[in-house]
Structure 1
Amino acid sequence: MMCFSGLTDLACRRIARETDSVVMTVAFRLVPEHPFPIPIMDCSTATMHFLKNAEKYGVDPHRIVLYGESSGGSFAAAVSEYLAGRKDLPKLGGQVLIYPGLQAVDFNLPSYQQNHSFPLLFKKRALKLATLLLTGKEINVEGVMKNAHLPEHVWMKYRKWVNPDDIPERFKGRGYVPMDRPPFNQELYEIMKEATNPMFSPLLAEDDVIRQLPKTFLLTCEYDVFRDDGLLFKKRLEDNDVPVTWYHIEDGVHGILFGLGNWLLQYPETKLHFQHVKNFIDSI
């Protein structure tokens, strides 16, 4: 199993023990010195090496799973897409995406509105971290928060995949107000232009890439700005006949599995929720 950012050593040991797996973690180069796409390419390179040399580690190359939480889930999805269809590599056995952020088109989807100030990940902080990864710089994200960073033609191009109409109505019950887009900010677009690159926004990959993805475990939390990214990605996987196991934590918050393996930090329900992850990994 390949694990990406957001996991402590204790968590990786717990995953290895619980699933009887060999767990490899990637020490990729970090922002701000190494912005996108360097960290994701580092993860891709490490994954390709592991796939090619799996048997040296006593691992079945056809049962390798990519695992990531939060930004690590985003990285895992991006690496899966980057490797999709490669004939020179064994096909991935699966991917585990734990509350990943998957798009940088619409930051006013219902979950972004409902959970904008909900711990542990405020909307503004999420965008500051995302733009730091993208650009290597700290920028004023007020315009990005309002969706002023994309011109109309780009916005419309991706509306088929990033659309609040595709979010089930039951997820809009805590309040959702469709918002008019603000005036386009050309300067902000120049800074954010790579935000629609599928390696940064895996939800935006073309269908011929999506349909080659491995079976997927997707975990979302109700009180998380990234909830709707996950719901929309689930729809894309299902629309392209990719087997997906979806587990939604109705009272969950972003980071609910961060304390895995550390009894001082983990939530009381962490072990219960992780059992669903374990069951998926055991099925590979």
Structure 2
Amino acid sequence: MISTSAIGKILEKTEACSQIAFTRYVRSGRKPGPDPQLSMRDARFGRVPGRVYRPRAPSAGLRAGAIFCHGGGWLYCSFGRAGRICRQVGRESKSMVVSVGYRLAPEHKYPAAYEDCLNATIHFMKNIELYGVDPANVIVCGDSAGGNLAAAVSQTLAGRSDLPKLRAQILIYPGLQALDFNLPSYQQNRGVPLLFRERAAFYMLHYLNGNASNLEEVLEGSHIPIDIKLNYRKWVSPDNIPEKFKVRGYKPHVLLDCTTEVYETVKRFCEPNLCPLLAEDALIQQLPETFTLTCEYDVLRDDGLLYKKRLEDNGVRVTWYHLEDGLS
């Protein structure tokens, strides 16, 4: 991945192609072959493309259903590229899995990916009888950027009375905030592959604005006014991270203010649909049972830890699994 990034930069400087386009090509991989345990077909959920994985074995009743939002920093991968994990979920849980083909940044900026995942989920829920899925047993899940999208979709649907309630949300090393890229995990794992600290901010900025302008301000923490940071400090703060996660080279970061010009370009970082960690307590309290996975050597670790605490503080049942030697 480091080599791919370096070659992509060279190609971009020579104007052969963009770094993002080259990385997408390298990551496209081979189309998966048939699976003896699952049938696979491409489908559309309203205007959103996707792929349906259905166990071939007959079911005695209605199946469980899973809506999967793939990772890739909102810039990379596809519903097809997510086939490996979708197949595993379908095989192991005997569930029908829907992989959502949301639009990618920077061509399609926020909230395009969120809206696609939300609209695909709503379409699926409204037509659930056509899929033979139990409306009381549907989960939304995702990894990394997909975990961000799954959390945002879950929050949006929490207050809906016209749709079945989600049974659970599964958040696999999710990225959930962009206020503080100097939390302990971002400092400790800043140079740990596969997701470097600088790349995490790069991806978030491309998702938001379609470019990485103000990357340095975001990394140093001078992109959000101090009064707004203090307002959210009850939720986004190293003080809410257990001490055992701070022993590996963490240094408290001094709060910096920002200019109005910079804040105007990134102020939507304060929207919960982009940063679900910032949702109000009244909404958090309505969320379904949650499973979250974090990795020790991952810049996104503390996003997951902070969200876990928020959920538990608001009475939401959480199952947490931490990979002590895990990478994102």
Contact conserved, 1:114 with 1:176, CA < 8 A, in 2? yes
Identify the match of residue 104 of structure 2 among 17, 30, 53. Answer: 30
Letter in 2 for 1:46: A
C-alpha separation between the residues in 1 aligned to 2:261 and 2:294? 33
- How far residue 182 of structure 1 moved from its aligned partner, in angstroms, is 3.1
State whether structure 2 residue 216 is matched by structure 1 residue 151.
Answer: no
C-alpha separation between the residues in 2 aligned to 1:111 and 1:158? 19
Contact conserved, 1:35 with 1:132, CA < 8 A, in 2? yes
Q: Which residue of 2 is the match for residue 188 of structure 1?
A: 262
Letter in 2 for 1:201: C
Cα–Cα, structure 1 residues 152 and 183, in superposed 2: closer, same or farther, change >3 Å?
Answer: closer
User: Runs (4+) of structure 1 moved beyond 6 Å?
Assistant: none
Contact conserved, 1:110 with 1:172, CA < 8 A, in 2? yes
Q: Which residue of 1 is the match for residue 5 of structure 2?
A: none
Identify the match of residue 136 of structure 2 among 24, 49, 62. Answer: 62
State whether structure 2 residue 75 is matched by structure 1 residue 10.
Answer: no
State whether structure 2 residue 183 is matched by structure 1 residue 122.
Answer: no
C-alpha separation between the residues in 1 aligned to 2:211 and 2:195? 20
Structure whose residues are more often helix by fraction = 1
Contact conserved, 2:290 with 2:319, CA < 8 A, in 1? yes
State whether structure 2 residue 295 is matched by structure 1 residue 230.
Answer: no
C-alpha separation between the residues in 1 aligned to 2:129 and 2:199? 41
- How far residue 74 of structure 1 moved from its aligned partner, in angstroms, is 0.5
- How far residue 10 of structure 1 moved from its aligned partner, in angstroms, is 2.4
Identify the match of residue 241 of structure 1 among 315, 318, 325. Answer: 315
Contact conserved, 2:125 with 2:163, CA < 8 A, in 1? yes
Letter in 1 for 2:241: I
C-alpha separation between the residues in 2 aligned to 1:132 and 1:247? 30
TM-score by length of 1: 0.87
Larger-gyration structure (1/2): 2
3-state SS of the aligned residue for 2:254?
A: coil
C-alpha separation between the residues in 2 aligned to 1:42 and 1:91? 19
C-alpha separation between the residues in 2 aligned to 1:8 and 1:201? 23
Q: Deviations over 1:91-142 (max 9, x none)?
A: 0010110000101111111001100111110000111011100111232411
TM-score by length of 2: 0.76
Contact conserved, 1:3 with 1:26, CA < 8 A, in 2? yes
- How far residue 58 of structure 1 moved from its aligned partner, in angstroms, is 0.6
Identify the match of residue 211 of structure 1 among 277, 285, 288. Answer: 285
Give structure 1 stretches of 5+ with no counterpart. Answer: 255-284
Contact conserved, 2:192 with 2:298, CA < 8 A, in 1? yes
Structure whose residues are more often strand by fraction = 2
Contact conserved, 2:291 with 2:320, CA < 8 A, in 1? yes
State whether structure 2 residue 231 is matched by structure 1 residue 166.
Answer: no
Contact conserved, 1:146 with 1:181, CA < 8 A, in 2? no
Higher normalized contact order (CA 8 Å, seq sep 6+, divided by chain length): 1
Give structure 2 stretches of 5+ with no counterpart. Answer: 1-65, 72-80
* % identical aligned pairs: 55
Q: Deviations over 1:200-258 (max 9, x none)?
A: 1100000111011110000000000011111110000001100000000001011xxxx
Letter in 1 for 2:323: I
Identify the match of residue 75 of structure 1 among 149, 152, 160. Answer: 149
C-alpha separation between the residues in 2 aligned to 1:155 and 1:140? 17
C-alpha separation between the residues in 1 aligned to 2:85 and 2:181? 30
When structure 1 is superposed on structure 2, of 39-48 and 9-18 the one drifting more is 9-18
Letter in 2 for 1:30: L
Q: Which residue of 2 is the match for residue 268 of structure 1?
A: none
Letter in 2 for 1:136: G
Contact conserved, 1:167 with 1:228, CA < 8 A, in 2? yes
Cα–Cα, structure 1 residues 210 and 183, in superposed 2: closer, same or farther, change >3 Å?
Answer: closer
Corresponding pairs, count = 254
3-state SS of the aligned residue for 2:133?
A: coil
Contact conserved, 2:82 with 2:99, CA < 8 A, in 1? no
Letter in 2 for 1:253: L
